[in-house]
Amino acid sequence: MNQKIKKFAAENQLSTHHDDMYGRFNGYQVSVRFGSKFSTSVIVGFHVNLGDKTAEILDWLNITQKKSLRLQSVFLASSGVYCMLLNMTAGSSLKKVRVILQTVTEYLRQQGIAEDVCPYCGQEMEERAFVEDNGIFYYAHEACFQEKLSQIRSAEAVEESRPNNYLRGFLGALIGGFVGMSIFYLLFQVGYLASISSLLGALLGGFLYSRFGGKNDKIKIVIVSVTVLICSLLAFFLSYLSMVGSAMQEAGILGDPLEMLFFLMRTEEEIFRAFWADFAMSIVFTVLGIVVVVIDMVRRQRKASFGMRSHGEAGGGQGLPN
């Protein structure tokens, strides 16, 4: 466990579970989700029911406070309102987290938001359950939590039964690859080796594959990887060919640019080396893009309902400190 998080939790009487914190701050149920080591954001949750103040409070967070609290985004869920911030180092994130917890809880009090009600229904909790939603811990009515869980499960079942459209997915991957390819080609014409456009093509390809109806499965990795790799290589070869072609035209040499390219690679060591260095860069960025697509896919494959459970009234001995 991160020592800075441990210290922060102790100072503020929050409980911890791995690097995540939960408990009461200024009377309100809050949670701070650091997530995994590789997580790029921290999520600060306020497990309250905003009722008819919802719009007003969201506006306050999104418009008035977004800059000063350094928020990346704000979102509302049935279990409360959440603020997301960029996680650089635990130390600097915790400083921001402290300000967010302080400012938001003070504002919630000013707005008359109840401290101790079920976040789902806004009613008092005579009986309460300690619940967990993917690393976020809070108290709620058992029934309200179970209702939410069954809603999520049925949404997941609908997603599961959705037909998988490989052809349309492939089309999406192709468009993404083609966009990356065009940017690469155009920038090459004005003298830039824009390997990063191979990365862009791979990311866009992966994104469009899903948007066009392909599901997140192993076939997606194969289709997206092969498509964007071919597009990257094609962009690379076409760029080199057009460079050789226009150099030949300027010099008044007739002939096939492809043959000329091979000839130059055999005879000019400098061109040989530049060609393969550029080639390697294009491949590296394409593979990097594919890796990001795969990581994102694995993350999305994990069903949200898997991380949701109730620990019952006693909270398995991890009750929130009052």
Comparing CA positions, the residue from 80, 101, 81 lying closest to residue 145 is 80
Comparing CA positions, the residue from 126, 139, 135 lying closest to residue 47 is 139
| Residue 120 in contact with Zn ion, rule: CB under 5 A | yes
Q: How far is the CB of 21 from Zn ion (least distance, A)?
A: 23
Give the angle 247-251-255 at the CA atoms, nearest 5°: 75
| Residue number of the CB atom closest to Zn ion | 118
Which residue's CB is nearer to Zn ion, number 96 or number 141? Answer: 141
Comparing CA positions, the residue from 295, 261, 303, 254 lying closest to residue 279 is 261
Contact of 226 with 240, CB cutoff 8 Å: no
| Residue 138 in contact with Zn ion, rule: CB under 5 A | no
What kind and span of H or E run contains 154?
A: helix 142-161
Q: Where are the alpha helices (H) located in 45-116, listed in sequence order?
A: 54-59, 90-110
Which residue's CB is nearer to Zn ion, number 104 or number 144? Answer: 144
Q: How far is the CB of 131 from Zn ion (least distance, A)?
A: 11
Which residue's CB is nearer to Zn ion, number 165 or number 310? Answer: 310
Tell which one of 21, 32, 118, 228 touches Zn ion (CB under 5 A): 118
Interacting residues with Zn ion between 139 and 158 (CB under 5 A): 141, 144
- End-to-end CA distance of the chain: give it in Å, rounded: 23
Contact of 60 with 52, CB cutoff 8 Å: no
Q: How far is the CB of 147 from Zn ion (least distance, A)?
A: 9
As to burial, measured by CB atoms within 10 angstroms (0-12 exposed, 13-18 middle, 19+ buried), residue 294 is middle
| Residue 128 in contact with Zn ion, rule: CB under 5 A | no
Contact of 319 with 130, CB cutoff 8 Å: yes
Q: How far is the CB of 54 from Zn ion (least distance, A)?
A: 16
Task: Quote the CA–CA distance of 231 and 208 in Å, as a whole number.
Answer: 15
SS3 139: strand
Which residue's CB is nearer to Zn ion, number 116 or number 296? Answer: 116
Which residue's CB is nearer to Zn ion, number 59 or number 147? Answer: 147
Stretch that binds Zn ion, among 88-96, 120-128, 239-247, 254-262 (CB under 5 A): 120-128
Which residue's CB is nearer to Zn ion, number 141 or number 220? Answer: 141
Interacting residues with Zn ion between 272 and 291 (CB under 5 A): none
Size of the site for Zn ion (CB under 5 A): 5
| Residue 129 in contact with Zn ion, rule: CB under 5 A | no
Comparing CA positions, the residue from 162, 159, 156 lying closest to residue 305 is 156
Stretch that binds Zn ion, among 13-21, 83-91, 117-125, 294-302 (CB under 5 A): 117-125
Q: How far is the CB of 151 from Zn ion (least distance, A)?
A: 14
Which residue's CB is nearer to Zn ion, number 96 or number 148? Answer: 148
Stretch that binds Zn ion, among 8-16, 121-129, 215-223, 293-301 (CB under 5 A): 121-129
Stretch that binds Zn ion, among 137-145, 221-229, 243-251, 279-287 (CB under 5 A): 137-145
Q: Which residues of 210-224 are buried (b: 16+ CB within 10 A; e: fewer)?
A: bebbbbbeeebbebb
Which residue's CB is nearer to Zn ion, number 39 or number 123? Answer: 123
Task: Quote the CA–CA distance of 53 and 256 in Å, as a whole number.
Answer: 71
| Residue 121 in contact with Zn ion, rule: CB under 5 A | yes
Residues in the site for Zn ion, rule: CB under 5 A? 118, 120-121, 141, 144
